[in-house]
């Protein structure tokens, strides 16, 4: 956050397929949110302000374009091409195109700071890391803002960057690292489904007349790379309706990318039927072409029944080697429907036996049926007993009263109608009326708009969604005692976060100091409890039997600095971030700080 008084709250949606920026002026009243313009290359020597920045990066060759052809208003010689022209050029030369960098940020099986992308880059083409690609998009948005608002520099504003609700702690940390590399100063991370709901609240200030106490809102966010599910319940406090986020789904790597690949196979099969077979690089290009064709056909006002597909052939003749095909609206709808089968609420995602050896690539889910993943969320994750008074049917299924759709895939009326039909069929089986659809007027900008609104809400100019933690959390403290053979030092539990502590808040643990191991490997043990709800931060529990559940330990070597070495006396401060990460800050007497963290939403 800015050290000076900010004029604007800026919301940034760092998307898998498209990124965007929105802002709200921080005045005395609840602000209106505007979508920001993002100048970018649309062709050589041509720039245009657009409301979306396609999340594509093109690694252009040294002499691929004439000098100055890729210049931007703020950079005469950019290192990469980012945005609309990168997407278009990459559809022709797929081996130089970086896409889906955000999905790679969440892939724990690879080093996401290593140069991995483009994954299928031919020999002689350099690669960059997912973090570097994400930083390039964020840097472009930062520079675009400064170009459009020279009197209100980006670094002086409140900035909020959105991430999937299902991002784990490492993926969130890598997003923060990308933002830092882009020059962001202390941005705050916010979950995308929450941001989408904030956008709905901003557009509907009469939301209290549309929702009532006990209502349960299901947010279904299907983006380019992920599908996210979130439940928000309507509660009452002191006679006023409030909103509380009560459940977040698992990380599901399933979205527009999968649909693009399925469309590419459908078009490829049609070409093969005409005697044209594509190689691996042509399939990459076809996938990019299908992505653009899909977006054209799904535009809200589009009346097109088909979109052309053009690929470069293998021959030396530029014209004679061109391969032409098409993607029809009926093809698109058939493929989309295949991801949304009409399943029962008891049908869970299916596992598929995998080959023993595979190429290194994104870990897409094995079952592409979005409806089965939704059933799992409502029947297992969202129906956990610790979630309290969530509306449920007789079978235990969490049963929403309202649904909010978000994400570019939701442009398709076929998707919205099929999801509503399946969900309402489940509700009918539970003896409940159909869920009401909340209107979402701006599916591709909603996340950025909601993040900007959230920034104003943090300053008291809007409605906040509460998200108190469902457990109390503790850190293990080893008792100081003489060494005894065969008898380990007893462990006590220090309460560091109490049940119900809201996300986005901090608490200082008073009156206690403990020795912190620095400069050498150490293991930190954490515990939680869903039954001990009244242990305030700072309470030390000596009898840990039965009440506390141990979490995975954190093994780390905290850096020693200055004269700090061995054990340093520290006091504690706990922060629960907006994305559900518990940060335990250890502060020495001379002001040095160390951070331990873990995700309080991870499935236990």
> Is the Cβ–Cβ distance between 221 and 230 less than 8 Å?
yes
Mean predicted confidence (pLDDT) in 427-446: 92
Find the mean pLDDT for residues 513-542. 88
Please give the C-alpha separations between residue 504 and each of 454, 467, 573, 583, in angstroms, as whole numbers: 12, 9, 13, 11
Give me the pLDDT at residue 327, please: 92
What distance in Å separates the CA atoms of residue 559 and residue 271, rounded to the nearest whole number?
Answer: 59
C-alpha span between 55 and 9 (Å, rounded): 22
pLDDT at 385: 46
pLDDT digits (tens, 9 = 90+) for 198-209: 999 999 989 989
- 39 contacts: CB under 8 Å, gap ≥ 6: 47, 48, 49, 50, 72, 73, 144, 147, 148
pLDDT at 107: 79
pLDDT over 60 at 72, yes or no? yes
| CA separation for the pair 141, 49 (Å, rounded) | 12
423 has pLDDT over 70: yes
CA distances from residue 418 to 430, 541, 600 in whole angstroms, order as listed? 19, 52, 33
Instruction: For residue 322, count other CB atoms closer than 10 A to its CB.
Output: 12
The architecture CATH gives domain 8-189: 2-Layer Sandwich (3.30)
Tokens 């993943």, residue located: 373
pLDDT in tens, 469-516: 778 899 988 886 565 676 666 788 999 999 888 877 889 998 789 999
Sign for the pseudo-dihedral over CA of 188, 194, 196, 198: negative
Q: Is the pLDDT of residue 564 over 70?
A: no
Q: Which pLDDT band, with edges at 50, 70 and 90, does 604 fall under?
A: very low
pLDDT of residue 121: 84
Are 203-253+363-457 and 256-338 equal in CATH topology?
no
Position 366 confidence tier, pLDDT thresholds 50, 70, 90: confident
> What per-residue confidence (pLDDT) applies to 449?
97
Extended strands (E) in 542-592: 549-550, 554-557, 566-576, 581-588
Whole-number Å distance between alpha carbons of 597 and 575: 9
Cβ–Cβ < 8 Å for 105, 362: no
pLDDT at position 487 is: 66
Q: Counting runs of H as helices and runs of E as strands, what totals does the chain give?
A: 12, 31
Q: Does residue 329 register a pLDDT over 80?
A: yes
* Phi, psi (rounded to 5 degrees) for 574: -110, 135
- Report pLDDT digits (tens) over 255-279: 888 898 899 999 999 888 888 888 8
Q: The domain 203-253+363-457 belongs to what CATH superfamily?
A: ATPase, nucleotide binding domain (3.30.420.40)
Q: Which residue has the tokens 């245009």?
A: 48
Instruction: Give me the pLDDT at residue 353, please.
Output: 52
Instruction: Report, as an integer, the average pLDDT of 400-412.
Output: 91
Provide φ and ψ at 175, rounded to 5°. Answer: -65, -40
For domain 256-338, say whether CATH 3.20.20.370 is its number.
no
For the segment 432-443, the average pLDDT, to the nearest whole number, is 89
| Residue bearing the bigger pLDDT, 488 or 139 | 139
294 to 291, 411, 496: CA distances (angstroms): 5, 10, 49
Q: What's the rounded mean pLDDT across residues 545-567?
A: 77
Provide the token pair at 253.
Answer: 């790597």
Contact 58, 50 (CB under 8 A): no
Q: Give residue 42's pLDDT.
A: 96
Is residue 73 within 8 Å of 147, Cβ to Cβ?
yes
Q: Is pLDDT larger for residue 589 or for residue 483? A: 589
CA 212 vs CA 180, 215, 390: distances in Å = 41, 6, 14
Total count of residues recorded for the chain: 604
Q: Is the pLDDT of residue 395 over 90?
A: yes
- The residues spanned by each domain of the chain are 8-189, 203-253+363-457, 256-338, 472-599
Two structure tokens written together for 138: 């964020």
Lookup: tokens for 282: 């042509």
Q: What is the pLDDT of residue 164?
A: 87
Burial class, 326, CB count within 10 angstroms (exposed 0-12 / middle 13-18 / buried 19+): middle
Q: Please tell me the predicted confidence (pLDDT) of residue 217.
A: 95
Q: What is the pLDDT of residue 358?
A: 42
Average pLDDT for 306-332: 77
State the chain's mean pLDDT as an integer. Answer: 87
User: With bands split at pLDDT 50, 70 and 90, how would you rate the model's confidence at 548?
Assistant: confident
Residue 3's CB is within 10 A of a number of other CB atoms, namely 9
Q: Please give the DSSP secondary-structure letter assigned to residue 533.
A: -
Point out the least confidently predicted range of 13-27, 39-53, 77-91, 545-559: 545-559
């Amino acid at each position: 956050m800015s050290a000076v008084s900010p004029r604007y709250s800026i919301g940034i949606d760092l998307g898998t397929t498209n990124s965007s920026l929105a802002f709200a002026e921080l005045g005395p009243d609840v602000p209106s949110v505007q979508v920001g313009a993002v100048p970018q290359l649309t062709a050589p020597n041509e720039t245009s302000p657009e409301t979306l920045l396609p999340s594509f990066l093109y690694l252009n060759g040294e002499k691929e374009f004439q000098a100055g052809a890729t210049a931007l208003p703020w950079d005469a010689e950019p290192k990469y091409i980012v945005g609309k022209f990168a997407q278009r050029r990459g559809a022709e030369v797929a081996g130089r195109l970086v896409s889906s960098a955000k999905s790679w940020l969440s892939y724990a099986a690879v080093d996401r700071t290593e140069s991995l992308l483009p994954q299928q880059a031919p020999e002689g083409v350099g690669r960059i890391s997912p973090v570097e690609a994400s930083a390039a998009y964020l840097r472009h948005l930062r520079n675009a803002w400064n170009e459009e608002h020279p009197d209100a520099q980006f670094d002086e504003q409140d900035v909020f960057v959105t991430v999937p609700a299902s991002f784990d702690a490492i993926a969130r940390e890598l997003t923060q690292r990308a933002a830092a590399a882009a020059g962001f100063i202390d941005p705050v991370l916010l979950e995308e489904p929450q941001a989408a709901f904030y956008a709905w609240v901003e557009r509907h200030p009469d939301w209290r007349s549309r929702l009532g106490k006990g209502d349960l809102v299901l947010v279904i966010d299907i983006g380019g790379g992920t599908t996210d599910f979130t439940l928000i319940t309507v509660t009452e406090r002191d006679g006023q309706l409030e909103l509380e986020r009560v459940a977040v789904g698992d990380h599901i790597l399933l979205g527009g990318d999968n649909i693009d690949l399925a469309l590419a196979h459908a078009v490829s099969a049609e070409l093969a039927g005409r005697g044209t077979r594509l190689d691996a690089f042509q399939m990459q290009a076809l996938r990019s072409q299908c992505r653009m064709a899909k977006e054209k056909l799904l535009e809200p006002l589009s009346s097109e029944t088909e979109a052309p597909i053009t690929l470069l052939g293998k021959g030396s003749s530029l014209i004679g080697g061109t391969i032409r095909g098409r993607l029809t609206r009926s093809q698109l709808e058939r493929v989309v429907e295949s991801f949304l089968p009409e399943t029962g609420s008891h049908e869970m995602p299916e596992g598929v036996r995998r080959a023993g050896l595979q190429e290194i690539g994104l870990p897409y889910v094995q079952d592409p049926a979005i409806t089965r993943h939704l059933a799992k969320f409502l029947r297992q994750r969202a129906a956990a007993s610790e979630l309290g008074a969530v509306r449920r049917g007789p079978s235990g299924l969490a049963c929403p009263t309202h649904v909010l759709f978000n994400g570019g895939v939701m442009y398709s009326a076929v998707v919205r109608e099929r999801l509503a039909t399946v969900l309402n069929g489940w509700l009918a089986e539970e003896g409940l009326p159909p869920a009401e659809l909340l209107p979402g007027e701006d599916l591709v900008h909603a996340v950025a708009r909601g993040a900007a609104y959230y920034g104003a809400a943090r300053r008291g100019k809007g409605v906040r969604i509460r998200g108190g933690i469902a457990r109390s959390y503790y850190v293990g403290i080893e008792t100081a005692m003489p060494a005894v053979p065969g008898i380990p030092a007893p462990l006590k539990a220090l309460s560091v976060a109490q049940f119900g502590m809201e996300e986005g808040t901090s608490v200082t643990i008073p009156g206690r100091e403990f020795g912190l191991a620095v400069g050498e490997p150490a293991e930190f043990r954490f515990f939680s409890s869903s039954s001990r709800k009244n242990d305030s931060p700072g309470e030390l529990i000596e009898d840990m039997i039965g009440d506390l559940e141990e979490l995975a330990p954190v093994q780390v070597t905290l850096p020693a600095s200055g004269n700090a070495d061995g054990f340093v006396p520290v006091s504690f401060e706990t922060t629960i971030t907006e994305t559900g990460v518990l940060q335990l800050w250890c502060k020495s007497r001379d002001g040095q700080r160390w951070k331990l963290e873990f995700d309080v939403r991870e499935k236990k």
